Each structure stands twice: as structure tokens, then as C-alpha cells.
Structure 1
Amino acid sequence: MNQPVRPLLLRALDGETLKRPPIWLMRQAGRSLPEYRELRTRAKDFIAFCHNPEMAAEATLQPMRRFPLDAAIVFADILLIPRALGQEVWFEAGEGPRLGPLPSLETLAGEVEASTERLASIGETLKRVRAELEPERALIGFAGAPWTVATYMIEGRGSERSAARSFIYEHPDILDGLLRILVDATARYLVMQARAGAQVLKLFESWAEGLSEDVFERVVVRPHQAIVAQVRAAGVTAPFIGFPRGAGALVESYGESTPVQGIALDTQAPLALGRRLQARGKTIQGALDNLLLRAGGPTLDARVDALLEGWGQGPYIFNLGHGVLPDTPVANIQRVVERVTGR
């Protein structure tokens, strides 16, 4: 009897050095693809789109049909959790997310269990995608990490996050309470995703920059540790990828103290840093500049080759340092995928 095929992404996260790295791209589902933009017109708004399993599964699968990518990432959004906890969330066209006033900690804490039920549509999306996806291609679930989600909940929108960073010092007890609630809600959400078919779980800490070492430990490392511990306590063994974007030199301490199998690196990450993380037993992911992917040309080819050569001698997942930009030419994505996969 033939043994089931183990996806390249899972093998890389097991610590294997492969003949070529698996490839997937952050924000590959949507934005740059014309078929996604057509699909998006059918939803009344972005949140409705995320909560429609048929449409969200289609958005997840569209890039898998176009490119020989090794993994799909479920189409969702990091701000579905605060909405599920009872905070008002909406998206302004051309401006991004908006959030209503931060509810009290007591109100939020009382909604943690119900929040998972309110996110059940994401689990249904995962089930649909897993049923259609080939067994050799992995399925990734994800959530926004607590600090990043908290910045939106505190500020009410995307910004330079000065108000949220000031909140750390001015309202420490409230912040710590908010992070604990988000840890619990996020862990439950990720357990649900794994049980619905996600084989890898990713924590997007999109706003890890500008934090002092002690604050980084408090608002990034400890919440990530707690989420992994809760997910493991629930019996979920899916590997984790952590993405402390913008953390700079603190990425190494993150790797030493956070029990994730993979670490996603942003655009600024030196090749030497990635090799040090590999030597310490971590699989690394990233860090191609999404602006370079958009620009294309010989410089893009050279950077792809440099990343493959610099990190290909250890466990490595080819990816970007941030998400695909909406106006990225599809031909540039195809060129990179072909250069990495050879097909």
C-alpha cells in the first residue's frame, strides 16, 4: 500500500533540508488576481466575504489553480476575533479597517467561548478547501497575534500605533488583561482551525517593531508561548510558524524562547540571521521584498537566487517578507514560482 504523501511544507517544518524549499506567498489568496477581484464584487462587504465559506474557499483555491504552490492559506482576516468578541469592526473602502470603542474587559472575557462559535464559518471554509486540495499541498490556518490585534482594538484603526504603545505604560493592567483574553480566544480559534483541516498554524505579529526588549517579551513572546501551550493542551500537534514582523535583533530571542517550529522573517532579515536560526533548530521562512516582487526584472531574479543559495542548505520555506501587493503583475509571481519550483 502506498504511503500517504507528506507535503513539502510539513517536511520543512519537521526540520528537513529539501532539494528545493516549499513555496507559498503571504496574501497569495486575492488582491493581485483578476479572478479574486471579480469574486470580491459578489460580496456585500469584506467581512461578509470572509464569513462566506463558499466564496472564501474559492478565494483560497484560486492561486492554487494558477501556480504550483506548495501550500494554501485560508482566506480570512486577523480582525475577525475582535468582532467575534463583540467589538464593532468594519472596513472603509480605500482606507482599511475601523473598530468601535473598546468594550470592557469583563464584557470581552464573557464572550471568549461564544467567539469560537461565531467563527465557525472559517472552519467550514477550511473543510471545503481541504476536501479539494491535493494531499501533497498543505493547508495553513492563521490568526493575528494578540499584541497586533490589541493595537487595532485600542486605536480603532491601522496607524503608526503610538497610542497602543503608550497604552502599554499608561494602562498596564488593562493591556495585560486584554492580551490574556486574546490569548484564550486565539488559542480556541486555532484549535478549531486545526480540527477543521489546517495542517500548519501561523501567528501574524504584524506590528512587532519599535518595542523595547522587556516590552517585546511581555506583549509578544509570552502571549505566543501561552497560545502554543493552550493549543498543545487541546491535543493539536500541527506545527506553528511565528511571524514577529519588524522585530529586528529580537527575532533571535523570540526563536530561543518561543516553541514555534518555523519563524517567518521580514524583508530586513540578513542571510546570516536566517542561518543562525536554522543552526538552532528552527525552520525559516521569507524574506523576499514584496516591492521587488512587484517591480520584477533581473534584480528580482538575483534576489530569489541569493535567498535560495543563502538559506537552501537548511530547513527553509520560500516566501515574502510581507504580503503580495494588489498591483503586483501576475507574471512576476509566476516567474518567482517557476524559479523556485522549476515548473
Structure 2
Amino acid sequence: MTFAPLQNDTFLRACRRLATPYTPLWLMRQAGRYLPEYKATRAKAGSFMGLATNVDYATEVTLQPLERYALDAAILFSDILTVPDAMGLGLSFALGEGPRFAHPVRDEQAVRALAVPDMDKLRYVFDAVTSIRRALNGRVPLIGFSGSPWTLSCYMVEGQGSDDYRLVKTMLYGRPDLMHHMLAINADAVAAYLNAQIDAGAQAVMVFDSWGGVLADGAFQEFSLAYTARVLAQLQREKDGVAIPRIVFTKGGGLWLEQMRSLDCDVLGVDWTVNLGRARQLVGDSRALQGNLDPTVLFAPPDRIEAQVKQLLDSFGPPHTGSGQGPTMVFNLGHGISQHTPPEHVSALVEAVHRLSRRAVAA
């Protein structure tokens, strides 16, 4: 499988802690409901899963934000819950609502019945990766992703999103053996899933530990961090001689950054509650950092967006500009972009990040 040569490798260089002419930028949920063209494509698809499982539609919506903005990476349009769906849990989305599983995993029999799914059931994802990579034609790199083992477990047990995670935490504390069994299967499934995305053309992969921050200290290390590490240990480090950066993002994980530096990854993403300078002190310069603008900043006027961008870049400090490896960052939001975000404010953000960071590097 051959693809066009990469024209903009700024994102991949920053992930590998190499000097870049400016700070690269992409946005979590950059292909999504804030864009009118996305809404039009989703209406044609008829449903979210109709969109995600159709290779042509998934390719179309992945590229939509790149037609508007000078972003430095594309991210596969899919969902973090495709793996448990392939396990037979029956994923669905109602318009205006979050994901739901028809068959939640809530007792010993259901947990013991879990198995790493046949990756052929996720062929639509891998076909979309290859299609998107070809459609990009080398413009920017493509990021693949999955939910973390713990985050998948939250949805698998709760059956949907939750305010208090009562059901999954009841299993965690009451039957930790069952939780460990589920997490081990999830970790091996996520690793196989991400490796298949790499084989299909993904040039970086990201693990979204969206609900790691709901755990208590001690429980996070045992039930989230350990299984994210199990995923990372199984991932391909390169493809065709080219390094594949591995990114881990834990929402609410700022408390454990010092321990997360032990993860075998290239980039640690942080949410908006974390000061990047402090994160850099805790993590050291052995990992690139990704983040972490509060998504609600994008509702402010463009001049205030620029002020917040400058503050965030300044908090990280001077980026690496010499040879070899050094401290680098990838600019992103501290969580996914809101569906209510004015698209023109994203233009202001992208322009400000590139202009201000280029000036900083030149200085």
C-alpha cells in the first residue's frame, strides 16, 4: 500500500520532539456538528452510525475542516465505542443524545462472555482510514484513535453516559476481578484495533481516556493507567521504517501527570485545568505535550481568543529550536470542540496559533 509523500510533517515532528517552524495545531472533534457542511452530510447519511460506517461519508467529513482551516493534522472520523460495538453490544445514537448500548455488561456471565472481537467486523473503519489517507494526498498526517480500556468499560457497564458512574464503580469496588477481566480484554482489543488502523494508513494513534478523571487516586493507577500501558506495550512503533507517534489524553488527569510520564508514549494530552508550564515540569522534556485551550474560549471575540492563545503558548515556554530532540507542544483544545462554536472563531484560533508561535520561534 503506497500513499503520496507527506507535504506538511510539522505535527509529526512536534510529536517526536523535533524542532518545528511553528506550533502545529489540530482540534479534538474538529470534524463535527459545529460545521454546517457536517450537518448536511449527516442528514444525507441518516444517522451517526450511517455516517461513520460509510467510507465515502467518513472520508468527506474528515476532510471538511481541512478545507476551511490550515490545520496540521486530520483525525479519522469515527467513534471511541466501535470496539465494544464489534463485541456485540449494539451501539446506537439518537439525534441530540449520546451513545447507547443495547446490551450493557453488568453481571459475571456478560463479563465472562467478552472476547477480543474479530477485526473484520471493524473493516469499515480500516477502509475509511485508507480512503482518507489517499484523499489527503499527503496534505497533512492522519491520526487514528480509540477509547481507552477504562473509558470503554464505563460505557459498556453503564450502557450510556453517566453523571456518577455508579454501576461501573460498583463493579470496580465490589467485583474488581470482573473489572480487571473486562479491562484486560478491552486493552488487547484496543491494541489490535489501533495496529490495524496503522496498517491501513494511520500515521499517529491516540488513546482517549475520557473518563479516567472520574476515578479516585489509587483506582486511577490500577484500573486506568495500567491498562493504557498494556495497550501501548502492544502498539507498532513504526510502519515502513517511519515512526508512529502514540498520544494519550486523560480528561481530568492532571493530578497524575508525574506518574503518566512512565507511559510508553510520545505525547501526553492535558485538559484545560492544567497549566502547561507546570505540566512540563512534572512530565519533563521526555514527552511532547498536547493541549489545552478551554473549548469555551472559542465563544469569545477573536481578539480575546488571540489573547488566550498567547497566554497558553507563553505558559508552555520557549519551544525547542535546535537540532536533536527537545521540548515541543502540539496546540489543541482541552477537550472536544463544542457543537455551538462559531466556525469563523476557529479561523481566528488557527491563524493566531500559527502567527504567534512562528513569531516566538523566530524570536
Please tell me the TM-score bracket, short chain as reference. Answer: over 0.9
| 1:44 shift after superposition | 2.6
Whether the aligned pair in 1 keeps the contact of 2:204 and 2:244 (CA below 8 Å) is yes
Q: Which amino acid in 2 is paired with 1:21?
A: T
- 1:283-322 equivalent positions in 2, closer than 5 A: 283-311=288-316, 312-313=318-319, 314-322=327-335
* Equivalent residues of 1:8, 1:136 under 8 A apart: no
Post-superposition offset of 1:297: 3.8
| Corresponding residue of 2:131 | 128
What is the TM-score normalised by the length of structure 2? 0.88
Q: Which moved more, 1:150-159 or 1:271-280?
A: 271-280
Letter of the 1:73 partner, please give it: I
Q: CA deviation at 1:249?
A: 1.4
Alignment correspondent of 1:240: 246
Q: Does the CA-based 8 Å contact 1:284-1:316 persist in structure 2?
A: yes
Are 2:15 and 2:267, in contact at CA under 8 Å, matched by a contact in 1? Answer: yes
Q: Is the 8 A contact 1:70 1:138 kept in 2?
A: yes
Q: SS at the partner of 1:42?
A: helix
Instruction: Name the counterpart of 1:216.
Output: 220
Instruction: Identify the residue that residue 166 of structure 1 maps to in structure 2.
Output: 170
Structure 2 Cα separation of the partners of residues 271 and 248 of structure 1:
10
CA gap of 1:289–1:245, structure 2 versus 1, over 3 A, is same
Question: CA–CA distance in 2 between the matches of 1:320 and 1:28?
Answer: 10
Measured after TM superposition, the shift of residue 233 of structure 1 is 8.3
| Aligned positions of 1:55-204 closer than 5 A | 55-103=57-105, 104-109=110-115, 112-114=116-118, 116-160=119-163, 161-204=165-208
Aligned amino acid, residue 320 of structure 1 = L
- Distance in 2, matches of 1:173 and 1:153, equals 16
- The range that moved more, 230-239 or 277-286, is 230-239
Which amino acid counterpart does residue 52 of structure 1 have in structure 2? N
Partner of 1:258: 263
> Structure 1 stretch 276-285 or stretch 118-127: which is displaced more?
276-285
How far off its partner does 1:279 sit? Answer: 2.9
Single out whichever of 7-16 and 129-138 deviates more from structure 2: 129-138
Residue 98 of structure 1 deviates from its aligned partner by 1.3
For 1:164 and 1:340, the matched residues in 2 are separated by 39
User: CA offsets per residue over residues 145-166 of structure 1, 9 Å max, x none?
Assistant: 0101100110111012232223
Distance 1:33 1:270 in 2: 29
The alpha-carbon deviation at position 327 of structure 1 amounts to: 1.0
Q: Does residue 279 in structure 1 map to residue 299 in structure 2? A: no
> Are 2:229 and 1:225 aligned?
yes
Instruction: Please tell me whether residue 327 in structure 1 is matched to residue 331 in structure 2.
Output: no
Q: After the TM superposition, which of the residue ranges 257-266 and 11-20 deviates more from structure 2?
A: 11-20
| Structure 1 Cα separation of the partners of residues 314 and 137 of structure 2 | 29
The structure 2 residue matched to 1:35, chosen from 34, 37, 46, is 37
The match for 1:24 is 26
SS in 2 for 1:29: coil
Residue 277 of structure 1 and its aligned partner are, at CA, apart by: 4.9
- Conserved 8 A contact 1:277-1:284: no
- The residue aligned with 1:13 is 15
CA separation in 2, counterparts of 1:273 and 1:51?
41
SS of residue paired to 1:287: strand
State the superposition RMSD in angstroms.
Answer: 2.0
Whole-Å Cα distance in 2 between the matches of residues 278 and 178 of structure 1? 30
- Decide whether aligned partners of structure 1 residues 91 and 23 sit closer, same or farther in structure 2, where only a CA change above 3 A counts: same
Q: How far did 1:170 drift? A: 1.0
Per the TM alignment, residue 295 of structure 1 is displaced from its structure 2 partner at its CA by 2.8
2:293 partner SS: coil
CA gap 1:233/1:67 in 2 versus in 1, 3 angstroms: closer
Kindly provide the amino acid, as one letter, of the partner of residue 263 in structure 1. Answer: L
Tell me the distance in 1 between the aligned counterparts of 2:159 and 2:77. 23
Contact 1:264 1:285 (8 Å CA) reproduced: yes
Q: Find the aligned partners of 2:10 and 2:126 in 1 and give their Cα distance.
A: 23
Is the deviation greater in 70-79 or in 270-279? 270-279
Q: TM-score, normalised by structure 1?
A: 0.93
Unmatched 5+ stretches in structure 1: none
Task: Name the CA distance, whole Å, in 2 between partners of 1:44 and 1:293.
Answer: 29
Aligned length: 337
Instruction: Describe the shift of the 1:199–1:233 C-alpha distance in structure 2 as closer, same or farther (beyond 3 A).
Output: closer
- 1:124-154 CA deviation, whole Å, 9 max, x = no partner? 1111111121425110000000101100110
CA gap of 1:96–1:184, structure 2 versus 1, over 3 A, is same
One-letter identity of the residue aligned with 1:268? T
Gaps in structure 2 of 5+ consecutive residues:
320-326, 359-363
